[in-house]
Every structure is written in structure tokens, then in C-alpha cells.
Structure 1
């Protein structure tokens, strides 16, 4: 049976290759810092289940130290030249995007086939992990197609991957860390503390004020943790479930779904959501690394106001 651990191994081997190629890149003054950073990432994916909690914690501190002290920097590996890329572009046009489309197509078609045909009866893939496994398979198929079609140098996919991951830098691992932070906050009882403070400040029966604090809390914690999925357990435990649902009888579907949308307004306004806001700026080589955030603020604020109104009216007023 193919399990999720196979994907960890695949990703770990990729990061291990990045580490080796970084160490061999003599043109990068920070090659050993890059090698250490991506090597630790490889270790976490390949051996995280075996090295124990303490070692994993030290590994995370190592990643934070390397990034915090500026030990990593962008490499510029040799793959194809600018002239070669331009020639490919002129000759193939939009067909160059076909390998990228193979990945989601494999995941979608494969999941539907595995779910709705007898193929799923063979138990080839770990239950509820089919889409993840097929997404990884799509990546391998896309790489194979690239080699058969374009015949790039053998290390070109890894070198291009290293170039891109170096451009993103430490922000590439931020989503995983922030998601873990959300679990830690929830386990530490932060939600209970916020809930007690909310009850002490807001008068009993003030539904709109409670909705307002809930939505603003989702935004604030999302801005801190960079991910609404990480903020949701905290605010749901603090306000969403005990006050809005249990005490005031609000609609769980509305409070949960639109509460998440309120959190995503915070995603639009924070550098902590690096995969949405800093990574595009880095890949596009924008002069202002916060340019994406500045452009999104004027969408996020009215969207937040709309979400607050929707939670209040759909969750409470129109349900009576």
C-alpha cells in the first residue's frame, strides 16, 4: 500500500538533492548555509518520525537560526541559458505549460477513478490520502514527460527547483511552522484565555459585539500565524463554539465557514502568509517585498466588513 510516508520520502530526497547541489555551488557565498538549511529539511521529512520530539525541536531551532542569522542566500545554478529559454518559448509557446497541467489533471482524474471505479477496491493507496498520493504521482509523470519531450540536462529539474526554492528562501517552510504553532496555541489553552477575556469585556447577550470580536480575532491571529487554518482552532475554542454556537444558538456552518473567510482577510494583510504575499514578490523580483500586501489591503478591509455582516445576519437574524 502506498502511504503518505512515501510522499515524505519523495520530498525529503528532493530537499537532500538541493542540499548537495547547494554545497557544490562554489559561486554562492552562502552555499554551506543553504546546504545546512535544506539538509535539515530533508532530515525532518526522511527521519522526523524516528528521531523523537526533542531532536525535531532542535531541528526546527536550527532552521530558525540559519534563517534568522542570514546564513542562507540565493544561488544561481547553471541550467538552460536565457537564449535557450527564449528559443523554447518561441518554438513551443503556451505548450510549455502542459507539463504543469499534468499535475492537477493526474490528481483530479486519478482521484475520481480511484473513488468511483473498481480500482479503489484493490487498496493500493492509504485511505483518505488518495489525492495527496496522486498529486505526487502527477509530479513524477510531469517530470518524465519533460525529459521525453524537451530532453533537458539530467540535473535541470533539480537545479531549477533549487533556484526557485533559494529565491523563496526560509519562507518556504513558514506554512508548516505556523500550522504547528496553531496546534500549540490551542493545546496551551490560549483559546480559553481569550474566551474568558471576551466574557469579561462584552455584556451578556451582545451578539453583534461577540461576532465582531470573533471576526477580528480571526483576522488578528491569522496575521500573527500567517494561516487562517492555524487561527481557527484558537478562535473556535475561544468564542466560536462556547459563545456564538452554544450560548447564542448561532448556525455552526455559517460561523465556521464565514469565520474562516474573515481569517483569510488577515491573510491578505500579513507578511507571515509568506506563501501568498512574500513568495510572489520574490519570484517576480518586485522592488517592494510588501507590494502584494499593500495592493490587497483595500480588498481585505471591505471584505472583512462584509463577512462580519454575513455572520451576524445569516448566523443569527435570519435563522429566527
Structure 2
């Protein structure tokens, strides 16, 4: 059986390779950072809380002391990339499309055919596993089709990762922070305040507060994955699901989308909003956020209406 942990090993292999390549460039800080992250993916499940905590603190120290430097490894030349672009045009995006197609089509094929009875994939992890398989297929397809230098994918990946720096793992860190907040009882405290403030029986107002909380906590914490455990424990589960009998699938899925609206509006989501501005060398580091306001606000309103309609009006 292919399990979820196989994905961690796959990611760990990439980070380990990037660490080795960084050693070759004598970028010791980069090598240590990506090497420790590789250890986390390879063995984090077995290290225990204390060892994982020390590992995270080591990552923070390396990043905080400026140990990560941008790299510029030799891969294909600008002339070669321009030639590929002119000759192939939008067909260059085909490898990228292989990943979602593999994930979606593979999931449907696995769940709605006799393949479901084979037990090939860990239950309820099929889509994520197939997503990882899609990445490997796309990589192989690109190599066979474009025939770049053998190390070009690894070097280009390292160049991009080093350009992003520590912000590349910010979503993972913030998701862990959300779990810590949930275990600390922050959600219950917020739920108590919300329960006192919202009139009993006001389903729509409760939906608005839930969606608003998802967006605001995402803006504060930088990631909807960090906000979700808090708001689910505060309002989503006790009030919307258990209290008013809402559809938990709609509340959870669209609630996350409401949080993503907050992602579009915050510099805390550095890997989405600040890093692109830096890579594009924009004078205004908040330029990306300013362009996204017109999308985020009406999208949040739509999410509120979808939750109320799909989780309550149509569900009940």
C-alpha cells in the first residue's frame, strides 16, 4: 500500500538533493536549512515532539541569522530558454497540467472503478498521493520532451527555492501554529465570546462571523490552514454544525475559501504576496496585495452566500 508518508519521503528526497547541491556551492547555511528540512520530512514522524521542536528552532536560527543566500546555478542558458519559448509557446505548460490532471482523473478512476478494492492507496489520501505521482510523471515527461541537462530540474528548483528562502515553508509553520492555538483552547475562548454576542437562532449572522473570523485570522496568521483549527473549534463545529445542523463538508470547504480571501490581503502570507513582489523587483512590496483587493472582497461575500445556501437552505 502506498501511504501518505511516501509523499513526505518524496519531498525529503528533493530537499536532501538541494542541500547536497548547496554544499557544492559552499552555501553552508542553505545546505543546513534544506538538510534539516529533509530530516523533518524523512523522520519527523519518528523523532518525537522534543526533537522536532529542536529541529524547528534550528531552522529559525539559520533563517533569522541570514544563513540563506540566493543562488544562481548554471542550467539552461537564457538563449536556450528563449528558443524553447518561441518554438513551443503555450505547449510549455503541458507538463504543469499533467499534475492536476493526474490528481483529478486518477482520483475519479480509483474511487469509481474496481481499483478501489485493491487497497493500493491509503484510504482518504488518494488525491494527495496521486498529486505526488503527477509531479513525478510531469518531471519525467518534461525531461523526455525537452531534453535539458540532467541536473537542470534540480538546479532550477534550487534557484527558485533559494530565491523564496525561508518563506517557502511558512505555510507549514503557520499550519502548525494553528494546531498549537487549537490545543491551547484559543478556539473555545473565541467561541465563548461569539456565543454571547450572536443572538440565538441567527444562522446567517453566525455564518458571517465564521467567514469573517476565517478571513481575519488568516490575515493575522498568514495562512488559512492556521486559522481553520481555531475557527472550526470556535464557531464552525459547535455552532454551525452541532448547533444549527449545517452540512460540515460545505462549512469546512467553503470556510477555507473564505480564509483564502484573507490570504490575498495580508503581507503575513509572504510566500504569496511579498515574495512575488520581490522576485518581480516591484518598488511597492504591497503591490500584489493592492491588485487582489478587488477579487478578495466580492469573493468573500460569495463564500458567505454559498455556506448559508449550501450548508443550510439546501441541506435542511
Under a length normalisation based on structure 1, what TM-score does the superposition of the two structures give?
0.85
1:137 equivalent to 2:144? Answer no
Instruction: Find the aligned partners of 1:152 and 1:25 in 2 and give their Cα distance.
Output: 21
Q: Is the 8 A contact 1:167 1:282 kept in 2?
A: no
Instruction: Find the aligned partners of 2:193 and 2:176 in 1 and give their Cα distance.
Output: 24
**1:286-320 Cα deviation digits (max 9, x unpaired):** 33332211222243345445655776788789999
**1:92-112 Cα deviation digits (max 9, x unpaired):** 222222222222222233323
In the other structure, the counterpart of 1:17 is 17
How far is the alpha carbon of 1:257 from its aligned partner?
5.2
- 3-state secondary structure, aligned to 1:272: coil
After alignment, is 78-87 or 280-289 more displaced?
280-289
How far is the alpha carbon of 1:21 from its aligned partner?
0.8
In the other structure, the counterpart of 1:286 is 282
CA RMSD of aligned residues (A): 2.9
How far is the alpha carbon of 1:167 from its aligned partner?
1.6
In the other structure, the counterpart of 2:176 is 180
Q: 1:136 to 1:313 in 2, by over 3 A?
A: closer
Superposed, 1:208-227 pairs within 5 Å as: 212-227=208-223
Under a length normalisation based on structure 2, what TM-score does the superposition of the two structures give?
0.86
Q: Which ranges of structure 1 fall in alignment gaps of 5 or more residues?
A: none
Number of aligned pairs? 315
After alignment, is 214-223 or 281-290 more displaced?
281-290
Instruction: Find the aligned partners of 2:304 and 2:115 in 1 and give their Cα distance.
Output: 45
How far is the alpha carbon of 1:148 from its aligned partner?
2.2
After alignment, is 257-266 or 304-313 more displaced?
304-313
Q: Which ranges of structure 2 fall in alignment gaps of 5 or more residues?
A: none
1:262 equivalent to 2:258? Answer yes
How far is the alpha carbon of 1:174 from its aligned partner?
1.0
Q: 1:7 to 1:262 in 2, by over 3 A?
A: closer
Q: 1:22 to 1:294 in 2, by over 3 A?
A: same
1:95 equivalent to 2:85? Answer no
1:105 equivalent to 2:92? Answer no
Q: Is the 8 A contact 1:191 1:237 kept in 2?
A: yes
Instruction: Find the aligned partners of 1:18 and 1:303 in 2 and give their Cα distance.
Output: 38
How far is the alpha carbon of 1:17 from its aligned partner?
0.8
Instruction: Find the aligned partners of 1:70 and 1:246 in 2 and give their Cα distance.
Output: 47
- 3-state secondary structure, aligned to 1:78: coil
